[in-house]
Amino acid sequence: MESGPAIFAGTAFTLFGAALLIWTGARVRHRAPVAHGVNPATAATLTTIFGTAFLLAGVWCLSRV
């Protein structure tokens, strides 16, 4: 009964984290700004940290099923 929400949350976190990391990699590779009005190195670093955190949270949720 409780595995349904865990599967949904794990899938959502994993997809969002992976998409954020792919998007950040594409923006950095094309030398485009990751966030407007922010230092490019800071924006890329923080986005990578949060993308990894979401990906790990999704994997953790899915491992609890």
Task: Report pLDDT digits (tens) over 4-46.
Answer: 898 999 999 999 999 999 999 999 999 999 999 999 999 999 9
User: Measuring CA to CA, how many Å separate 50 from each of 1, 29, 53, 60, 65?
Assistant: 30, 19, 5, 15, 23
pLDDT at 33: 92
**pTM confidence score:** 0.87
Residue 60 pLDDT > 90:
yes
Amino acid making up residue 60: W
pLDDT band, residue 1 (cuts 50/70/90): low
Backbone dihedral angles phi then psi of residue 38, each to the nearest 5 degrees: -125, 150
pLDDT at 65: 84
